[in-house]
Homo-oligomer: A and B are copies of this chain.
Amino acid sequence: MSEPIPIVGGTGALGAGLAQRWARAGRAVVLGSRSAERAAEAAAKLREAVPDAAVEGLPNDEAAQRAEVVFLTVPFRAQSENLNNLREALRPGQILVDCTVPLAAAFGGKATRSLGVWQGSAAQQAQEMVPDGVTVVAALHTVGAPGLADPATVLDEDVPVCGDRKADKARVARLIELIPGLRAVNAGPLETARIVEQLTPLLISVNVRYKTHAGIKLTGLPDGDHWQ
């Protein structure tokens, strides 16, 4: 049986949207929240939307121990606190997929602007904060929560994935590509998250102007599976 997919911050918009898509694709998910009660509520809600969903709701630190690949989908202003809380939970060999975007909106600024993070990006900040032996991969910054949440929305976009080892990125890519319409693209080392995290405020700027939920695609990539 496949490992479940734990989502720290799984009660937020992005986490819940991903969970719903993975559940529809037949994968077990574990929704993490700071509050066990809110996690259970979110799990019940997902079971309503996807009746055969294999879903649990757990406190974040317990959720993070349920599989080797763990997704972190919290807002930037909560990223450090969450990573502090996960220090005792994460074990060497795990992959933490950081989806955080340092929007200036986190501290009252515009959602079309970003904050400077000393380490270069939210993902690099995460890499600095996780226990030794835990590897951070950055992904899923540009996939909009509204589209994920609405089962009628047909997704058709790329997901740039950043990380220092291709094997780690490939594991994450396999999970991302369980969601129909998402293609994971190898965007480079973790430091490239500096750029990829900026795609979100760019898309927000486009969304405002076109009254849409834009996504991103890379053209000119050869066909076939590049994660083998």
Give A contacts to B, CB under 8 Å: 112-114, 147, 156-157, 160, 185-188, 191-192, 194-196, 198-199, 201-203, 205-206, 208-222, 226
Contact = CB atoms under 8 A, between A and B. Distances in A.
A215 to B, nearest CB: 4
A48 to B, nearest CB: 28
Contact of A222 (B198, B212, B217, B219): B212
Nearest to A144: B220
Contacts of A186: 206, 209-210
A222 B210 contact: yes
A147 B219 CA distance: 12
Contact of A192 (B196, B202, B210): B202
Contact of A206 (B187, B191, B198): B187
Nearest to A217: B217
Nearest to A219: B215
Contact of A219 (B156, B160, B205): B156
B187 A195 contact: no
A188 to B, nearest CB: 4
Contact of A198 (B198, B218, B221): B198
A216 B213 contact: no
Contacts of A210: 186, 220-222, 226
A140 to B, nearest CB: 15
A44 B195 CA distance: 40
A157 B218 CA distance: 9
A112 B156 CA distance: 26
Contacts of A192: 112, 201-202, 205
Given A192-B112, A195-B198, A195-B199, A187 B205 contact: yes
